[in-house]
Amino acid sequence: MKLMDLVVNDAIIPELTSTKRDEVISEMVDALVASSCVSEDHREEFTKAIIRRENKGSTGFGHGVAVPHVKHADIKTMHIAIGNSVDGIDFKALDREPVYSVIMLLSPEDQPECHLDAMEAIFSSLSQDTFRRFLRQANNTEDVLTLLTETDNAVR
């Protein structure tokens, strides 16, 4: 699975304005709403579902990254939003370090295999020091898209 097939270009936020975990989640869901990938009617519901998931166990797996995600019956197509924070966010990460890059995945509830494939693609990229470093340094949407394209092409 290619990340570029799932990433919503208009939901790439090179510099998140929010500084707290729940606000970041809201900001990223708002970006998906603004890009017409998520209905305005579902904004609050999806935001609360992701926060509930985070409260069960942080998706900040360390090394400055977090992957908040949710499977929901009202999600018809998988979408990824990406956000970077200059100052870092307390995501209650496993290594207790701030999170600088957030990759949010929304998946249809009835496609668990696709959700797992997407998570594998995300974690495969995030497990690479170089990818994490370049993602964190990306100053604009084009930089993020170039990184994702190069990563997808290297997987072939």
pLDDT tens sequence for the chain (156 residues) = 899 999 999 999 999 999 999 999 999 999 999 999 999 999 999 999 999 999 999 999 899 999 999 999 999 999 999 999 999 999 999 999 999 999 999 999 999 999 999 999 999 999 999 999 999 999 999 999 999 999 988 865
- Backbone angle region of 144, left / alpha / beta, with phi > 0 → left and psi within -120 to 50 → alpha: alpha
CATH fold of 3-155: Mannitol-specific EII; Chain A (3.40.930)
Helix (H) or strand (E) holding 150: helix 141-155
Q: How many residues does the chain have?
A: 156
> In sequence order, what are the residues at sequence separation of 6 or more whose Cβ sits closer than 8 angstroms to the Cβ of residue 43?
29, 30, 33
Give the predicted TM-score (pTM) of the model: 0.94
Answer yes or no: are the C-beta atoms of 148 and 121 closer than 8 Å: no
Which of 45, 124, 131, 35 has the alpha carbon at shortest distance from 79?
35
- Could you give the CA distance from residue 136 to residue 51 in angstroms, rounded to a whole number? 23
